[in-house]
Amino acid sequence: MSDKIFEGQHAVVTGGSRGIGAAIAETLARHGAMVTIMGRSIATLDTRAREMSAASGGQVAGCAVDLGDPASIDHAFDNLSGDFPAPSILVNNAGLALSAPFSRTDLDFWNKILGVDLTGAFLCIRKVLPAMTKAGHGRIVNISSTAGLKGYPYVSAYCAAKHGLIGLTRSLALETAHKGVTVNSVCPGYTDTDIVRDTIANIVNKTGRSAEDALAELVKHNPQSRLIQPAEIAEAVVWLCRPESASVTGQSIAVAGGEVM
């Protein structure tokens, strides 16, 4: 099987500037895709795009967007690089993982998380789906979470958004089943990125426990007793995007060491 399986295809990866999104973007580029990475800082994106192009030998471009702002999403997708064709792969990866007890989850907090994690993904799909269905080919991968498959305390807004993303995945997969477009979710467990580093700092601040204790508290959810690596999530995404995965749609695949099954 050719290593450059996505040659000629354009993949958009939201939140591609770091963490899981950066791993996904670089892996897609290594497999031949032209990749647009999205995030809020164009300076960061341009630097990361240059680094990824060099590391992968592919073409990676940055595109600034605030996924909490519908007008910004319109503007970003209407101004994608003219060197790339219409996207045939969309990875809705960007996400905010803020925590708060329900008693302190006010409407602003709720809307902020739902706006980026769920409505942002919905709006990005709206921008790329017409061209995918017209071409008769497309891959949409929504990065949900184990928090889309089960509950955790103190993250009700995040859990609601991630469960919602799975509902969107399932419904849209049925609508696009005859159009050559697959729609799936990947659900990471605790993964070694800034989100987990911030969560550990938060636990240390709020409880006075050590960072080692806080990390142990997080990895105890994973039967393999470890953090997931971003590259492991990237490989699951790449597999879903392969031509051979055309029958896999509407699925929510946990990459979480057996935490949910």
How far is Cα 173 from Cα 164, in angstroms, rounded to an integer? 14
Q: With binding defined as CB under 6 A, does residue 67 bind ligand NAP?
A: yes
How far is Cα 251 from Cα 151, in angstroms, rounded to an integer? 19
The minimum distance between CB 187 and ligand NAP, in angstroms, equals 7
**x/- track of binding to ligand NAP for residues 103-142 (CB under 6 A):** -------------x--------------------------
154 is catalytic: no
Q: With binding defined as CB under 6 A, does residue 195 bind ligand NAP?
A: yes
Q: How many CB atoms lie within 10 A of CB 79?
A: 11
Per-residue buried b or exposed e for 203-226, using 16+ beta carbons within 10 Å of the residue's own CB: bbeeeeeeeeebbeeebebbeeee
Distances (CA, A) of 259 to 114, 149, 226, 243, 256: 24, 10, 11, 29, 6
Whether 6 contacts 234, CB under 8 Å = no
Kindly state the tokens that stand for 178.
Answer: 């005859």
Residue from 114, 124, 190, 249 that binds ligand NAP (CB under 6 A)?
190
Which of the residues 139 through 158 are near ligand NAP (CB under 6 A)? Answer: 143, 145
Which is nearer to ligand NAP, 5 or 260 (by Cβ)?
260
How far is Cα 172 from Cα 176, in angstroms, rounded to an integer? 6
Q: With binding defined as CB under 6 A, does residue 184 bind ligand NAP?
A: no
- Beta-bridge partners for 10: 34
Which is nearer to ligand NAP, 144 or 176 (by Cβ)?
144
Q: CB under 6 A: which stretch of 15-23, 124-132, 171-179, 208-216 binds ligand NAP?
A: 15-23
Binding-site ranges for ligand NAP (CB under 6 A): 15, 17-21, 39-41, 44, 65-68, 93-97, 116, 143, 145, 188, 190-191, 193-196
- Cite the active site residues: 158
